[in-house]
Amino acid sequence: MTGENQIPSNEPLVDLDDWQDDVRNRYPDPAEFNPTDPAKKKEAFRDYRAEVRPSVKEFYRLNHSHQTVDFVRSKQAEYVPLQKRKMTLWEATEVLNTLVDDSDPDTNVPQIEHAFQTAEAIREQGHPRWFILTGFIHDMGKMLCIFGEPQWAVVGDTFPVGCRFSDKIVFPEFFAENPDCNVPEYQTECGIYNEGCGLDNVLMSWGHDEYLYHVIKDYLPLEAQYMIRYHSFYPLHREGAYTHLLNDQDRAMLPWVKKFNPFDLYTKSHTRPDVQRLMPFYEELVAEFLPETLCW
């Protein structure tokens, strides 16, 4: 059992989605903001940092101290060849659903429900089929958990490594513990990169976004690839940091990443999707874009 005072060393989050819930607290849904409601007004000015749960704070500390250039390179070497397993998307979905088996069903929704809620919200707004599919699969890189990666290497806001850590990243003070802070080459504004080099040449902290990008990149349009690869890059898409690394393609694609974010963040609902009713549509959608078997 995990109490607030009893944080396990490497896996501080009770549930992997505690991170996402925390992001939602940091960036509250603007649609719910009502300036004439005094309670809501107060909420808009509340101190986010003071409210962060100790387990989530510990999660950020681990993430910021361990995501280094060497770590990212080692994980890329391990995962990018996609030689872990061969699975259909539906097999992957089943495996991922085991992630919440032990947790409290009242507060946590299985991964598949977040997938359906995100995708259905996109579909309701009449977006193209590839966009709906992107919403459906965007978090399946959490498969990294199944392969034994610690929480701090699966979820969390992502950021470039190999150059100075922006103070726009949540809890920037935790980078003091990151060994890359002792490498002068990594601590200039551009670090090992050139200005305008483009994000494809930038090593991002390792997690579910980057991993899934490699799994699906041959099958979905560029817009979808960006949404998947950078959906947790809050320092860029919410805070405007790291724009000096972008190239023309990144600047053209950034609006799509921003367009995707509200569907990810603000569609969590306790109304459970009717999986049986939705399944035929999604089976057809997955078969339209993805091969029968995917390499993971």
Stretch that binds Fe ion, among 136-144, 193-201, 245-253, 281-289 (CB under 5 A): 136-144
Question: At closest approach, how far in Å is the CB of 189 from Fe ion?
Answer: 28
Beta carbons of 227 and 256 less than 8 angstroms apart? yes
234 or 242: CB nearest Fe ion: 234
139 or 210: CB nearest Fe ion: 139
Q: What are phi and psi of 159, to 5 degrees?
A: -160, 160
Q: Is 231 exposed, middle or buried (0-12, 13-18, 19+ CB in 10 A)?
A: buried
12 or 207: CB nearest Fe ion: 207
The CA–CA distances, whole Å, from 257 to 67, 118, 273, 286 equal: 23, 14, 25, 21
Residues that contact Fe ion, how many (by CB under 5 A): 2
Question: At closest approach, how far in Å is the CB of 196 from Fe ion?
Answer: 27
180 or 264: CB nearest Fe ion: 264
Question: At closest approach, how far in Å is the CB of 6 from Fe ion?
Answer: 27
Question: At closest approach, how far in Å is the CB of 53 from Fe ion?
Answer: 19
Question: At closest approach, how far in Å is the CB of 158 from Fe ion?
Answer: 10
Name residues contacting Fe ion, limited to 209-268 (CB under 5 A): 264
Q: What are phi and psi of 36, to 5 degrees?
A: -90, -10
- Token pair for 103: 């947790």
Question: At closest approach, how far in Å is the CB of 47 from Fe ion?
Answer: 26
Closest CA to 17 of 53, 45, 48: 53
Question: At closest approach, how far in Å is the CB of 37 from Fe ion?
Answer: 28
Closest CA to 115 of 98, 92, 139: 139
Using CB under 5 A as the binding rule, whether residue 120 contacts Fe ion is answered as no
99 or 163: CB nearest Fe ion: 99
69 or 121: CB nearest Fe ion: 121
Question: At closest approach, how far in Å is the CB of 264 from Fe ion?
Answer: 4
163 or 228: CB nearest Fe ion: 228
135 or 191: CB nearest Fe ion: 135
Name residues contacting Fe ion, limited to 138-177 (CB under 5 A): 139
Q: Which residues sit at the interface with Fe ion, rule CB under 5 A?
A: 139, 264
